Chains A and B, each alone.
Chain A
Amino acid sequence: MRAFANLIERLILTPQKNGKLRLMQAYFRETPDPDRGYALAALTGSLDFRYAKPGLVRALVEERVDPLLFRLSYDYVGDLSETVSLIWPVPEHASANDPAPALSDVVALLDGATRATLPAIVAGMLDRLDETGRWAFLKLITGGLRIGVSARLAKIALAGLSDVPLSDIEEIWHGQKPPYEALFAWALGTGPRPANDDPAPFRPVMLAQPLGDTDLEALDANDFAAEWKWDGIRVQAVGASDKQGRPIRRLYSRTGDDISGAFPDILEALDFDGAIDGELLVMRDRAVQPFNSLQQRLNRKSVTRKMLVEFPAHIRAYDLLVAGGEDLRPLPFAERRKRLELFIDTIESDRVDLSPNVPFDTWDELATARADPICAGAAHDADAVEGVMLKRNDSIYEAGRPKGPWFKWKRDPFNVDAVLMYAQRGHGKRSSLYSDYTFGVWRKGEGGPELVPVGKAYSGFTDEELNRLDKFVRDNTVDRFGPVRAVRADAETGLVLEIAFEGLNSSTRHKSGIAMRFPRIARIRWDKPSREADTLSNLTRLLPRRKAGGTKAD
């Protein structure tokens, strides 16, 4: 437990991806089975035991510490796990010689816990652990480590132990169970590749390269098919049956996370034997809804009946990987596409439909379609088109992002001129530079025009520009809040940033009422007077129109 606790403490404080990978890999190498396996399970969210509610933890600590002193401390620290781990009085009989419990001991104890025994188990464990151990333990049992490590990053660390391809790990992942001993042996090069007995496994996803400015010149339009790139999330929907003939249905994210639990409506529709690659969308009255409708359904373990009605999920199919037990991935795309069209016809539910082809003969025709999806067949779903996908007719389905067979050709981004309002220091190499920028646009305020923040960007500039931006921030600071500086931004003085972004969503969490997707700095307008930057009303015109069958707000 001590090594695991130290690991997650370092992970939470390490901003760089490479740093996190190295910390995890060092831990995986130095920690024996089964502890490292349970750690991997914790990092990938694969541990399943009775979670403790914050109220239970609080009650335990208030039996041991004066409640007023606890409250003063909690107010100061702000986080329950951290406060309790710091304040927990170590019992006098505890001896430094008692061996600290291993992570596997902790998991075993929690595994056997019942509602009645849980408080004593938690208290006993807090008595035995040191401070970092208590903190890690409390994070573990209150659910969700929240340490900035995705399941995918943990798998990348595993793959990096001895150059096993990540796609191989993803492919067998769902057949493995904690503590993953065979998986570690394989990843470290000391054992064979573990078999995957899962009847409905995840197949690693094939991704597209972004289309470069001059790529088309070298490509023949006759070699490619095109389809819309929908603005949802990429998923894999798998239907199969186990040895006893019971149906197994799963919905996987692009990175192989099993998200079935939150999509019972989709699972119901997977009445087939095969694996479909497609886009997860929210559809109401046969119309694709804006991305933030889909967001209501994402990152949840379960879903309410109300959400199922309000935000019905849908799959728009791009590709067919497996059908009736046959692996179609080695077939050319044109062949898979034919099989997909037939396959979709056999599915009863209308929650799964086919993503239509975009017909074209020349690149110019495709460019026209991309610029105007409404006329090119996307009709009323055109707002949900992010661009077009180009797929070579002869492309096999291979994991990863191979260069050549598939391209994504996104629609041109939107642009807005905004004014720099706040800047924050970056991390690592940028820790002495103000490199994260919050920008705003004008709106009518009580005392005249005022700036309202609409987004944050930290990319899109060169090192040289960064140095100049940093100097601007330091020279024009009007206030400081911890690592953040407010910069002079009024009608007379202020720096205009041309921001490129992929779209807008309405948002109740932001003062401006909008949230930008993928904002980055397109240009720094040293020349432009700040009063000439855009207004909020200009910007909100870009919000997606409400679709048929909209919410009550319509």
Chain B
Amino acid sequence: MPIRPADLLRPTPAGLYCPPGDFFVDPVRGVERAVITHGHSDHARPGHRRALATPETLAIMASRMGAGHAQERQAIAYGECISINGVDVTLVPAGHVLGSAQVVIEWKGLRIVVSGDYKRSADPTCTGFETVKADVFVTEATFALPVFRHPPAADEIAKLMTSLQRFPERTHLVGAYSLGKAQRVIKLIRDTGYDEPVFIHGALKALCDLYEANGVSLGELRPATVNGKAREAKNDFAGKIVVGPPSAFSENWARRFADPLEGFASGWMRIRQRAKQRGIELPLVISDHADWNELTATIREVDPREVWITHGRDDALARWAELNGYAAKPLALVGYEDEGD
């Protein structure tokens, strides 16, 4: 009797669980054995006895949560196949952030690919997505509405550079989440030929250093701190780029800057009203998640018998799958809140 997908992987309150291998993928609470797709805090949590991930993801987890985030840590390189209780597990690049991986799970001729968070567009700070054919494709759906079609990231960065020229007396604050987005934004700024120092919020430092150590060159980064009297120092940042986590811009921290012009690098910035409500003057539509076209193209390429949808706009993606002849199942997993975008 052929095995059913649910025999190999099933949703549980703690996250996706593989019974024959006795491991979880991205569990939302501490478990015996966890395979982690990437370092964002909603996927990579502390308190597991054993954590398996790419070396980069383990380094990110150690940087954010301390080396003791799991009792045992096992690094698996991209493409390396390991066996967990007879279940073959391979990590394949997902293109989301540094070290991000899809988990390919194979057992008795059945293959399930858990994408984790992913994107298909180019990103100079991480390894690009690789397509693996699968019987079941477990996909995210963060931006699964046909209104989300991310423009080329370089065009968005060009808007930032134009604004910098037009408003040279204003500090250009760019909100970007600290893992992945911030480094990608800085790298894209460098790719335009901008070689002045980029100022960063303290929360970004460790991860920027980690990216540098992994061969992603970010140029000269300086802390966005003021020396001497705050009022006089304000002009230090006029016409400069300051990158920080978006939450910091509503706090006292942001008061040190000259006439700040607030930008935000996020896929959500596609919706102008969202940008306006947040007081964002310069929305930069740069996302580390697949947009609608990427999600649907990826499903076609993977060509699974079933599509499972983990989190996001599952209703719209399920509708698309239905219209295009794929069996789709929303998993309604809780606990994933897209820190990365």
Contacts and interface: CB of A to CB of B under 8 A. Distances in A.
Interface of A: 9, 12-15, 19, 22-23, 26, 65-66, 68-70, 72-73, 76-79, 82-83, 86-87, 131, 135, 425, 427-429, 431-433, 482-483
Contact of B145 (A14, A73, A482): A73
A13 B255 contact: no
B323 interface: yes
A15 B273 CA distance: 14
Task: Classify the secondary structure of A's interface with B.
Answer: helix
A86 B147 contact: yes
B316 A72 contact: yes
Contacts of B315: 72
Given A78-B273, A429-B259, 13 more contacts: A13-B276, A13-B282, A13-B283, A14-B281, A69-B145, A69-B146, A69-B320, A76-B313, A86-B149, A428-B260, A432-B253, A483-B250, A483-B277
A73 B249 contact: no
17 contacts: A13-B281, A23-B166, A26-B166, A66-B320, A66-B323, A69-B146, A69-B316, A70-B146, A73-B316, A76-B145, A77-B273, A86-B271, A135-B272, A431-B249, A431-B262, A432-B250, A482-B278
Given A425-B279, A427-B279, A483-B278, A432 B252 contact: yes
A19 B323 CA distance: 47
B270 A86 contact: yes
B272 A12 contact: yes
B182 interface: no
Interface in B134-153: 145-149, 151
A56 to B, nearest CB: 20
B275 interface: yes
Contacts of B280: 13
B276 A12 contact: yes
Contacts of A66: 319-320, 323
Given A13-B283, A82-B272, A432 B255 contact: yes
B279 A73 contact: no
A66 B315 CA distance: 13
B251 interface: yes
B254 interface: yes
Contact of A9 (B270, B272, B323): B272
Contacts of B259: 428-429
A116 to B, nearest CB: 30
Nearest to B151: A131
Interface in B18-50: none
B145 A82 contact: no
B220 to A, nearest CB: 26
A271 B146 CA distance: 58
Contacts of A9: 272
B249 to A, nearest CB: 7
A77 B147 contact: yes
Interface string B276-312: 1111111100000000000000000000000000000
A431 B251 CA distance: 9
B146 A431 contact: no
Contacts of A73: 145-147, 316
A76 B147 contact: yes
Contacts of A14: 281
Interface string B235-251: 00000000000000111
Nearest to B283: A13
A326 B208 CA distance: 74
* Among B148, B253, B272, B282, residue most surrounded by chain A Cβ atoms (within 10 Å): B272
B246 to A, nearest CB: 12
A431 B316 contact: no
B277 A482 contact: yes
Contacts of A86: 146-149, 270-271
A482 B278 CA distance: 8
A483 B270 CA distance: 19
A62 to B, nearest CB: 13
A83 B279 contact: no
Given A72-B316, A483-B278, A65 B146 contact: yes
B269 to A, nearest CB: 10
Contacts of B273: 77-79, 82
A66 B317 CA distance: 12
Interface string B190-212: 00000000000000000000000
A72 B249 contact: no
Contact of A87 (B147, B272, B323): B147
